[in-house]
Amino acid sequence: MAHATQEVTREQLINDFKVVIADAEALLKASADSGGEKVAELRSKASHSINMMKERLGDVEQKVVDRTKAAAKATDVYVHDNPWKSIGVAAGVGLAIGFLLGRR
């Protein structure tokens, strides 16, 4: 259960980074008219940092997708190799949920 919460947090983090990157790009575009050598230098550094962050974010996102696919594949193989155990576990979880909901 904690693992599922961790995955949701990773997805939220990826989405938050995408929003930050989009806001930073918009800020760079809005400040394009501002003059000065220092401003141009800072804009160049910020643009470079944003591009690096996009690459890293893409890598992290791909790792999350790969891990999710591997977990799904492992679950599929386990269920096919152990159908009766899987049915038993699913029935047990269903009974537990039914019991907990019935108590309310």
Note the pLDDT of residue 8. 57
Angstrom distance (rounded) from CA 30 to CA 15: 23
The per-residue pLDDT for range 38-60, each reduced to its tens digit, is 677 777 777 787 788 888 888 88
- Identify the segments of the chain with pLDDT beneath 50: 1-2
Note the pLDDT of residue 1. 44
pTM confidence score: 0.51
Note the pLDDT of residue 66. 92
Burial 26-63 (b: 16+ CB within 10 A, else e): eeeeeeeeeeeeeeeeebeeeeeebeeeeeebeeebee
Note the pLDDT of residue 49. 79
Map tokens 């890293």 to a residue.
56
